[in-house]
Structure 1
Amino acid sequence: MKLQSINPATGALIAEYDAHSPEQIEEILQKVDRAFRLWRRTSFTDRARSMRNVARLLRERKESLATLMSREMGKLLREGRAEVEKCAWVCEYFADRAEDFLRNELVETEARKSYVTFQPLGVILAVMPWNFPLWQVFRFAAPALMAGNAAVLKHASNVSGCALAIEDLFRSAGFPPDVFRTLLVPSSGVEAIIRHPVIRAVTLTGSTPAGKAVAAAAGSVIKKTVLELGGSDPYLILEDADLDAAVHTCVASRLINSGQSCIAAKRFIVVEAVREAFEEKFVGEMAAKKVGDPTDPTTDVGPLARLDLRDELHRQVTESIEKGAHCLLGGKIPEGPGAFYPPTVLTQVAPGQPAYEEELFGPVAAIIPVADERAAIEVANRSRFGLGAAVFTRDLARGERIAARELEAGCCFVNDFVRSDPRLPFGGVKESGYGRELSHYGIKEFVNIKTVYIK
C-alpha cells in the first residue's frame, strides 16, 4: 500500500511512501522496546544533552522543515517557521526542567522512609494529525523522552515526509536510533498496534470519533490514553469589550493555520448591544485577508489540507445557510486548482445548524447573538466540546471570574486568543478529551507514579 503526500495548493503529487508491512511493524516495535530498556537507565543530563541537540537542529533546518509542511499540508511559510521555533522551545523547556519535575517526593509517614518516585512506563504510541505536523509531535515527544520513555509515531498519512523528518531529527541529535521511530501505516492499522504488548500507553490528537476509537481499543487491553480532540471554542464578546482589540484578536485566532486548529476561535458569542458594531469591524478585517499561495509572504490564508476537507466545510456552510444563518462574507468555493476556501462569516447562527453544533475546521466564523453575559455563558457551555474559550471585557475581574469559574473548557483566556505554551497544561474536557500535555502535569501523564515505603 502507498501513502500519498499531495500539495493542497496545486493538487500535485509530491511523494509516495510504502506502508510498513506487519513484519516490519513487528521488527520496529521490538527494536523500540529494546531501546527503551537501555534509555530508561540514562541520566537526565544525558537525555537533556540530546534534547538540546534536537532544538539546535530544528533551528538549523527551519527553512527546509517549514517548506516541507507548506508542501504537504499547505501551511504558510511564516507560520511553519514559527512552528519550528516553538518545537525548539519545548525541547529546551523539558531539557531544562524534567529532572526537577520528576524529582522524588518525600512523604512523612510512620515508615523509616516513604516517598513517591516517577518512573517511565515504556513504549508510547503517538497518533498525530496533519494540522501542526511538527508541534503536535514535539509537545508529546519532548516530555515523554525526557521522562525515559521511548516512542513510536503514527502520523497522518498525508504528512509522511514530516513524520520521517522528525525521526531523522532525533537520530541526528544523538538519541539511540530506536528510541523514537515512525510507523508508516494507514489509520486502519492503528488498533492492532495499540493491542501489541510492547505498547504501554497511547496519546492521540485528532477528531472526537478517532479519539473514541482509540480509547475503546486501548481500554479493552487496559492501556492508558491521553486524548486531545476536537474543539468548537467560544469567544464571548461582552458589551464592555474593547471592540477594535477584540476583533483583531478574534480574526487572528479564527484564521490561524487557515482556520485548521482545534483551539482556533470558532463560535463568536456576541452580546446584542454590540453585535452590529462587532460584525461590521469583523467582516471588514476578514475581507481584507489575502487567500493564495502559502509560500507567498503576502498570503494570509492558504489552502485547506485536502479537497475532501474543503468540501465538507462548504457543506457545513451551505447547510447552515439553508437552515437560517445569514452569510455576511464568503461562502463560495473559488475557481481554479487547490483546496482553497475564502474567509467566511455567518451570523444569526442558531441551534440545529452545523455552524452551531459542529466544529468548523477552516476559515469560517459563526456569530451567535445573545442578550447578555448569562446567556453568553449558557450558549458557550451548551456544546459537547470543551477545549478552549475566551472572554473579552474591559473589566478584568469580571473576565477572570467567567474564565475561572463559569466556562467549561480546559484553557480559558481573557482578552487574548487561546494557545498552547510549554509552561502551562493543555487539554480539554467533555468530548474534547482528557489528560494534559505540557508543563509538569504533562510530563507526569506517562510515568508510573510509584510509592516506595521502607519500614
Structure 2
Amino acid sequence: MHTTATTTTAALPATTDSGDGPATITIRDPRTGDTLWTVVETEPAAVSHAVEAARNAAAGWSLTAPAERGTCLRAAARALAAAAPVLARLNSSETGRPVEEALAGIAAGVSTLEQYAELGPVHRGHSLRGNPFASDYTVAEPRGVAVVLTPWNDPVAVACGLIGAALVTGNTVVHKPSERCPRLGEFLGEVLAPSFPPGVLLSVSGGAGVGTLLTQAGADVVAHVGSSVSGARIAETAVRSGAHVIRENGGNDPLLVDRDVDPAWAAEQAAIGAFSNSGQICTSVERIYVHKAIATEFCAALEAEAALRNADGSVAPLVDTRLRESVHAQVAQAVELGAHAVEGGRVPDGPGAFYPATVLLGCTDSMQVMTEETFGPVAPVQVVESFDDGLKRAASGRYGLAATVLTGTIAHAQQAIAALPVGTVKINEVFGGAPGGAAQPRGESGHGFGYGPELLDEFTRVKVVHVAAPPAYAMPSENAAPPAHAQSQQDPGQEQQ
C-alpha cells in the first residue's frame, strides 16, 4: 500500500487520474475535513492477475476437506480479533464511525467467521427417493471464483459474512472493499489472507472502475452489498457473463405505528431506527407512517429524541460531504414541498461532514425522503387515517429490504407480515432478531439470500447423482484362454515371430 499527503479539495472519496501513473483515492477525516491519506488504486493488469490467481487456486481449494477449510476460517477469526483495535481506529478515521461501534462490528465479523467454520463442514446435500436398488442424492459444489464487493458503513462484519461463506464452501475470493474505506479494506485483507493458501483470498483497491473490471473478469459468482444503481449494473453484466449474483442493495424501509401503542416508546423506536450510525444502515428507518390517533404525542416525543441527540453530540458525522449533500438535498426538497423541519434540517457550520438528527413533519408521497433511500439521520413522518391506510403506503415503492410495525393488535401484525413485500418484517422492535437469519431482499433492494446458513447455498451449485448397479456379469479368470474369436483376430505376424 502506498500513501502520500495531499491537499486536494474534491469531495470524498476523490478518485484522481494522475496521467501516466495509477489512479489514486484521497480520503479526508469526516470529523475535521483534514486529509488523512491517498491510496493508489489497483491497476487494471493487477486486477486481471488477481482473478487469474484466484482461478488457478480454485481447483486445489475446492478439493480441500471442508473441515480443513473450517480450520482456516477459525485461524482467520483469531487474527481478526487480534487486529480489532487497529481496524476499529481505521474504521473510525475513514468513515467517522465511533470506535466502540466499530469494535462491535468487528466482533460480529469474528463471530460470523466462527459460525461459518462450523456450518461449512455440515453443509450437505439431500438423499432422493428412487429405485431401492440404486442411490440418488445431491452434492453441493463450489461455484469457483467469487468476486466480493462490500460497503463502508459496516465494512468488517459485511465482508466477513460474504468472504466466510464463499471460502468455507470451497470458492476462492477476490475482495474489493469500498473506496470510502480503502486503508481499512487493505489491512483487512492483510489480516485474513495469511490464514489461507496462496491465491485463495486476494484483495484489490479502487472505485467504481475497478469494481466494473472485476465484474467483467469472468468470475463465477458476484456478491455485492451497496447501492441499487451499482447492483443493477452488476446484474446486467452477469446476464452476459453467466455469473451468479447475490446482492443486498438500497432500501427505503418503512416504520408503521399503530394507534394502540405507547407514543413515547414508539418515538424511541423510531429514533433508534432513523438515527443509529447516523442513519447509515441498510435497514435504517427511512419513512414513518403514524396513526392520526397518537400522531401529536408521537411527533412531539420524536422531536425530543432528535433534540437530545443533537444536544449531547451523539450523532456521528456522515462518511463524507458528498453523502451530506445528497441527504440535505432530499431534506431541502421536502421542505420546499411543504414539510416542516421541527428539529435539524440544516447543514451545520464548521469542518467535517456532520448532519444533525432531523425530524420532518407533514411529509407526503411526492417527497424524495418518502420514496428514495436517504442514508442519513432523517426521520420523515406522514400521518395516516387508519392502519390499513398506513400499511398500503408502507407496502408501496420499488424497494423491498425490511419493514417494522409497532402494534398491540396481533391481527394487525399478521396482516402486515402477509402484506409487506420485503425480505424482513420486524414487529415491535426496529433492530434485533435471532442469529442465522437469512432474508431475501425484493425489488430494487437485491436478490438472493444474505447471511445465515442459506448463504452457503448461494455460493454452491447442486449436482444430482444417480448410482445404479450394472447387470450381473461373470468376469473371466486372468489365466483363462482368450475366446476363439479373439484368437482368430490375432495379427498374422505374431505367429511368424
TM-score by length of 2: 0.86
Report 1 or 2 for greater relative contact order, CA contacts < 8 Å, sequence distance ≥ 6.
Answer: 1
Contact kept in structure 2, 1:90 and 1:142, CA below 8 Å? yes
Aligned partner of 1:223 among 236, 240, 243: 243
Q: Which amino acid aligns with 2:101?
A: E
How far is the alpha carbon of 1:394 from its aligned partner?
A: 2.0
Q: Which amino acid aligns with 1:103?
A: R
Structure 1 counterpart of 2:381 = 367
Aligned partner of 1:394 among 379, 403, 408: 408
Q: Deviations over 1:398-422 (max 9, x none)?
A: 3540342121110111111145765
Structure 2 counterpart of 1:411 = 424
Q: Deviations over 1:280-313 (max 9, x none)?
A: 111111110147xxxxxx7521111110110111
Structure 1 counterpart of 2:173 = 151
Structure 1 counterpart of 2:120 = 98
SS in 1 for 2:37: strand
Alignment of 1:181-200 (within 5 A): 181-197=202-218, 199-200=219-220
Structure 1 ranges of 4+ moved more than 3 A = 418-422
Structure 2 counterpart of 1:334 = 348
1:179 maps onto 2:175 in alignment: no
Mark the CA change 1:420 to 1:4 in structure 2 (over 3 Å): closer, same or farther: farther
Q: Deviations over 1:310-363 (max 9, x none)?
A: 011111101111001111111111100000000000011102111122111100
1:443 maps onto 2:456 in alignment: yes
SS in 1 for 2:399: coil
SS in 2 for 1:15: strand
How far is the alpha carbon of 1:124 from its aligned partner?
A: 0.6
Aligned partner of 1:300 among 303, 314, 331: 314
Matches of 2:415 and 2:64, distance apart in 1? 45
Contact kept in structure 2, 1:391 and 1:402, CA below 8 Å? no
Matches of 1:43 and 1:421, distance apart in 2? 30
RMSD, aligned α-carbons: 1.6
Structure 1 counterpart of 2:308 = 288
Contact kept in structure 2, 1:435 and 1:445, CA below 8 Å? yes
Q: Deviations over 1:69-103 (max 9, x none)?
A: 00011111111011011111111111112222x21
SS in 2 for 1:268: strand
How far is the alpha carbon of 1:188 from its aligned partner?
A: 2.0
Q: Deviations over 1:177-215 (max 9, x none)?
A: 321111123202333322223x11111111111111111
Q: Deviations over 1:148-194 (max 9, x none)?
A: 1111112221211111122112124x212321111123202333322
Aligned partner of 1:170 among 187, 192, 217: 192
Structure 2 counterpart of 1:294 = none
Matches of 1:246 and 1:144, distance apart in 2? 39
Aligned partner of 2:41 among 4, 8, 19: 19
Q: Which amino acid aligns with 2:206?
A: V
Aligned partner of 1:423 among 433, 436, 440: 436
Matches of 1:333 and 1:129, distance apart in 2? 25
Equivalent residue pairs, number:
445
Matches of 2:443 and 2:418, distance apart in 1? 16
Q: Which amino acid aligns with 1:446?
A: F
Contact kept in structure 1, 2:31 and 2:354, CA below 8 Å? yes
Contact kept in structure 2, 1:127 and 1:155, CA below 8 Å? yes
Matches of 2:160 and 2:280, distance apart in 1? 18
Structure 2 counterpart of 1:295 = none
Matches of 1:386 and 1:208, distance apart in 2? 11
Matches of 2:63 and 2:26, distance apart in 1? 38
Aligned partner of 1:36 among 51, 54, 58: 58
Q: Which amino acid aligns with 1:20?
A: T
Contact kept in structure 2, 1:422 and 1:438, CA below 8 Å? no
Mark the CA change 1:66 to 1:290 in structure 2 (over 3 Å): closer, same or farther: farther
SS in 2 for 1:249: helix
Structure 1 counterpart of 2:268 = 248
Matches of 1:257 and 1:427, distance apart in 2? 23
Structure 2 counterpart of 1:139 = 161
Contact kept in structure 2, 1:437 and 1:443, CA below 8 Å? no
SS in 1 for 2:173: strand
Structure 1 counterpart of 2:369 = 355
SS in 2 for 1:265: coil
Structure 1 counterpart of 2:134 = 112
Q: Deviations over 1:123-161 (max 9, x none)?
A: 111122211111221111111111111111122212111
Matches of 1:421 and 1:74, distance apart in 2? 28
Q: Which amino acid aligns with 1:435?
A: G
Contact kept in structure 2, 1:330 and 1:345, CA below 8 Å? yes
SS in 1 for 2:444: helix
Structure 2 counterpart of 1:50 = 72
Structure 1 counterpart of 2:17 = none
Mark the CA change 1:120 to 1:133 in structure 2 (over 3 Å): closer, same or farther: same
Q: Which amino acid aligns with 2:334?
A: S
TM-score by length of 1: 0.94
Contact kept in structure 1, 2:286 and 2:370, CA below 8 Å? no
Structure number with greater Rg is 2
Matches of 1:321 and 1:133, distance apart in 2? 33
- Percent identity, please: 27
Matches of 2:381 and 2:367, distance apart in 1? 12
Matches of 2:182 and 2:419, distance apart in 1? 41
Matches of 1:184 and 1:256, distance apart in 2? 28
Aligned partner of 1:433 among 428, 434, 446: 446
